[in-house]
A and B are shown apart, each in its own frame.
Chain A
Amino acid sequence: MQNFRRITQGIFLLVFLFLFIKTESVGNDELGYPVKIFLDFDPLILMTTLLSAHNVEKAFYLSISLIVLTLVLGRVFCGWICPLGTLNNIVGPLRKRNYISGASDRHRWKYYILIFLLVSSMFTLQLVGFIDPISLIIRSFSISLYPLFNHSIRSFFDAIYSLNVPGVVEVSESVYSLIKKSILSFRQPVFNQAAFIGGLFFLILGLNLVEKRFWCRYLCPLGALLGILSRFSLLKRSVSEGCNSCGACAVVCQGSAAPDKKEDWKDTECYYCWNCDDVCPRNAVSFGFKEKKARASMDLGRRRVAVSALTGLITVPLLKTAPLSRQDFSNPRLIRPPGSVDEKEFLKRCVKCGECMKVCITNGLQPTLLEAGIEGVWSPVLIPRIGYCEYRCTLCGQVCPTGAIKRLDLKDKTEVKLGLAMIDKGRCLPFAHATPCIVCEEVCPTPKKAIWFEDASVADRTGRVKKVKQPHVDLALCIGCGICEAKCPVLGRPAIYVSSVGESRSKTNRLLLP
């Protein structure tokens, strides 16, 4: 059974990685793969989004099948499917022997976390993305691990390339081009907070040193949700008379299921990995549908449950009393992806999975730090100097699992305003330095250009009059895509820049009469 399970885990991990790598444009309008499907099957996001936004993308109803699966087979998702669980499994051998946690009650932590998340989302605060395992792994891969992987491979082959040893370079370059085509990204991805988000991920993997699958046992809120469902599952475990309490099963248990406790085995903590069955020297362990229900209660403690719920409740006003929550207050630097819903609704939906940042064709979508408040940490923000919004690209809306970014067709996309561009006359070459430059107008993608010129005669230092074209922004036509800012030759602080004022999604962050 162990090999069968490992193969299954391997297949799901490979599917996950394959879809992750395919979350990248090859130049067509659509990706052609269901890249967000692991998120669609996440019932935790389904529940918290229903609670916070009272409405959820239809694809999330797929996750009901995971609920049904758990009601039949128990928490098999954790043991057989979850890519984060599998990674924890892989690094598990870092710790030589498992520590047998007899009386530890750390496994309860995750239930408190779950209660906290459910209560806060009930009161509009969607924090699940920080800690939901699927969001977490996609975000960590997108922002940090995949860029890290790309950088390592690229530097390696670039080093060989620059050494330029005849005979070697030809071979290395052909290998490199193969790798580039299959598993590397088109360009080296770069992200703000890459080190931080990656560090957190390595910390989670590192916790396996404290105890194998520390994350899954003690912290994972999806595991907690599935654990609760596992109480009612049909597949149960039983131990026959042959058991001589040798304790071999306790050592190999991946969860905190206390398999050596026979009837007091904790079904909520079992991943159904079958290790205890495999290892039992007397073949006393069996799983079946006709076994008795486990006796052990969850025993979370009423007080602790109440405290978790209360914490969830109090966190809501705690985070909602920042100036950004005021209706008439917007952060000018918070340029959301095209198709984003109004900020309040956006925060209720976004789970910070990083799919949009992974797929963004220019790398312009970056994780926020505090631009959107604490609840908005790691949600997407467009930073035009890193990458503008490509006029005919609609990929972020296609991969967003939650509808925080709506899926737009090409025509709608080209009409959505992310904000507006404005010119800094103190830095703009034709305004401030009597020097010709038309780059912002040249790259402006709207069919009738949103940048127009005023022919002006400007004197330079010697008094010689030069004819230049001075750019102006037509606010009615500008869509705030930021390509002008991205390509402005005035490096550092550009002479034209986009801010969020005028964004279509907001009824208040407006500039022109509608």
Chain B
Amino acid sequence: MDRRDFLKLAALTGAGLAVPDGINRFAGMVAASEKVDLVVAHGASPSAITKAAIDAFGGISRFISRGDIVVVKPNMAWDRVPEQAANTNPEVVATVVRLCYEAGAKKVKVFDRPVNDPRRAYVQSGIQAAAATLGAEVSHIDERRFRDIRINGVAIKEWPLYTEILEADKIINIPIAKHHSLAKLTMSMKNWMGVMGGSRNMIHQRLDESLVDLSRFLKPALTVLDAVRVLTANGPQGGSSSDVKRLDTVIVGVDQVAVDSFGATLFGMKGSDLGYVRLGEKTGLGIMDLSRLNIRKIST
């Protein structure tokens, strides 16, 4: 029984009314935070909207417990600067790192397996500096730490995955929303390519299935989709400022399919335009239909 089922059950049986006071209050708290499936925050400051979105989603302590080892997984795959919108916004990443530590996380780790040179991707994205000053452990991928993992997916049966993400207590996925010629858009589900070892380029042969396989296996505690700046063409690395659109938006959710489905609307598309979102809904990974979701929009 997941949280959603619990709520339905609670509503049906009126259990909330029947239980004693203390538990009632607990249920009420859960219900208050559960009401929301996605928070969409809009505002000029990337760090303020990130914090506001997470707060409106029930606060970081709903997801991070004292003593947790947290992996915060941004997209920093490219040798590009923040203005080019190819990597996750460094302020968004830094804010999540800060909130994790405030919630008592023991250690926050930040890494990605870039496509371009890792040193340049880490530095030029601005993420290394922003996260490290807040005490995050920003490390480069250590090839020895990949292990062949059976994930028994549809397209991917077994693949070398980065053990540091598998060993973490909690994972927070912080992708950026961008154009991509095959996936059309890349958001949270495609961000898992950054923890794949080996010749991950092969998964483009069955991209949608592969992304759903990975997303089902990795199960982040929270997803924060950065749409402060989005890349509307020539993705996933762009380069021209004319392809960058400033949306000043951050989307927070747990359901990866829902996050990506909402993300599509930022580009004038629908979730159903994206193969991996459709497949994600079909296979029960999450909800694509936005009308079935409780989306809370806030401005700061």
Q: Judging by beta carbons under 8 Å apart, are B119 and A439 in contact?
A: no
Q: Judging by beta carbons under 8 Å apart, are B199 and A489 in contact?
A: yes
Question: Interface size bucket, A side?
Answer: 20 to 34
**B-contact 0/1 string along A440-455, CB 8 Å cutoff:** 0111011111000100
B197 to A: closest C-beta gap in Å: 15
Would you call B124 an interface residue if the criterion is a C-beta within 8 Å of the partner chain's C-beta atoms? yes
Would you call A390 an interface residue if the criterion is a C-beta within 8 Å of the partner chain's C-beta atoms? yes
Using a CB-CB cutoff of 8 Å, which residues 111-126 of chain B contact chain A? 115-124
Q: Judging by beta carbons under 8 Å apart, are A439 and B181 in contact?
A: no
Using a CB-CB cutoff of 8 Å, which residues 143-170 of chain A contact chain B? 158, 161-162
Within the assembled complex, what's the spacing in Å between the Cα atoms of A441 and B123?
24
Would you call A58 an interface residue if the criterion is a C-beta within 8 Å of the partner chain's C-beta atoms? no
How many residues belonging to B are interface residues under a CB distance threshold of 8 Å?
A: 32
B223 to A: closest C-beta gap in Å: 22
Using a CB-CB cutoff of 8 Å, which residues 424-467 of chain A contact chain B? 429, 435-439, 441-443, 445-449, 453
Would you call A172 an interface residue if the criterion is a C-beta within 8 Å of the partner chain's C-beta atoms? no
Residues of B within 8 A of A392 (CB): 79-80, 120, 124
Would you call B238 an interface residue if the criterion is a C-beta within 8 Å of the partner chain's C-beta atoms? yes
Q: Judging by beta carbons under 8 Å apart, are A469 and B119 in contact?
A: no
Q: Judging by beta carbons under 8 Å apart, are A161 and B144 in contact?
A: yes
Would you call A318 an interface residue if the criterion is a C-beta within 8 Å of the partner chain's C-beta atoms? no
**A-contact 0/1 string along B214-244, CB 8 Å cutoff:** 0000000000000000000010111110010
Picked from B121, B123, B144, B207, the residue with its CB within 8 Å of the CB of A28 is: B123
B178 to A: closest C-beta gap in Å: 11
Within the assembled complex, what's the spacing in Å between the Cα atoms of A439 and B201?
7
Residues of B within 8 A of A391 (CB): 79, 116
Smallest Cβ-Cβ distance to B79: which chain A residue: A392
Q: Judging by beta carbons under 8 Å apart, are A158 and B144 in contact?
A: yes
Residues of A within 8 A of B238 (CB): 447
Would you call A98 an interface residue if the criterion is a C-beta within 8 Å of the partner chain's C-beta atoms? no
Would you call A393 an interface residue if the criterion is a C-beta within 8 Å of the partner chain's C-beta atoms? yes
Q: Judging by beta carbons under 8 Å apart, are A446 and B239 in contact?
A: yes
Q: Judging by beta carbons under 8 Å apart, are A442 and B240 in contact?
A: no
Residues of A within 8 A of B120 (CB): 25, 27, 361, 390, 392-393
B144 to A: closest C-beta gap in Å: 6
Within the assembled complex, what's the spacing in Å between the Cα atoms of A443 and B238?
10
Would you call A186 an interface residue if the criterion is a C-beta within 8 Å of the partner chain's C-beta atoms? yes
Would you call A22 an interface residue if the criterion is a C-beta within 8 Å of the partner chain's C-beta atoms? no
A291 to B: closest C-beta gap in Å: 55
Would you call A1 an interface residue if the criterion is a C-beta within 8 Å of the partner chain's C-beta atoms? no
Q: Judging by beta carbons under 8 Å apart, are B117 and A393 in contact?
A: yes
The DSSP consensus for interface residues of chain A is loop
Would you call A26 an interface residue if the criterion is a C-beta within 8 Å of the partner chain's C-beta atoms? yes
Using a CB-CB cutoff of 8 Å, which residues 243-277 of chain B contact chain A? 243
Within the assembled complex, what's the spacing in Å between the Cα atoms of A488 and B238?
19
Within the assembled complex, what's the spacing in Å between the Cα atoms of A319 and B267?
61
A450 to B: closest C-beta gap in Å: 11
Would you call B128 an interface residue if the criterion is a C-beta within 8 Å of the partner chain's C-beta atoms? yes
Q: Judging by beta carbons under 8 Å apart, are B181 and A445 in contact?
A: no
Picked from A435, A446, A448, A469, the residue with its CB within 8 Å of the CB of B205 is: A435
Would you call B154 an interface residue if the criterion is a C-beta within 8 Å of the partner chain's C-beta atoms? no
Within the assembled complex, what's the spacing in Å between the Cα atoms of A487 and B234?
18
B242 to A: closest C-beta gap in Å: 8
**A-contact 0/1 string along B176-211, CB 8 Å cutoff:** 000011100000000000000001011011110000
Q: Judging by beta carbons under 8 Å apart, are A390 and B79 in contact?
A: yes
B295 to A: closest C-beta gap in Å: 31
Smallest Cβ-Cβ distance to B84: which chain A residue: A447
Tell me which of B119, B206, B240 has the highest count of chain A C-beta atoms within 10 A of its own C-beta.
B119
B82 to A: closest C-beta gap in Å: 14
Q: Judging by beta carbons under 8 Å apart, are A27 and B119 in contact?
A: yes
A43 to B: closest C-beta gap in Å: 35
A100 to B: closest C-beta gap in Å: 53
Q: Judging by beta carbons under 8 Å apart, are A442 and B180 in contact?
A: yes
Picked from A27, A158, A438, the residue with its CB within 8 Å of the CB of B124 is: A27
Within the assembled complex, what's the spacing in Å between the Cα atoms of A487 and B77?
14
Asked if A442 meets B182 with Cβ closer than 8 Å, knowing A390-B120, A487-B115, the reply is yes
A486 to B: closest C-beta gap in Å: 10
Within the assembled complex, what's the spacing in Å between the Cα atoms of A281 and B238?
76
* 11 chain-A/chain-B pairs, Cβ below 8 angstroms: A390-B117, A429-B205, A438-B181, A438-B182, A439-B204, A443-B115, A443-B237, A447-B239, A449-B234, A453-B181, A487-B201
Q: Which residues of A contact B (CB under 8 A)?
A: 25-28, 158, 161-162, 186, 361-362, 390-393, 429, 435-439, 441-443, 445-449, 453, 469, 487-489, 491
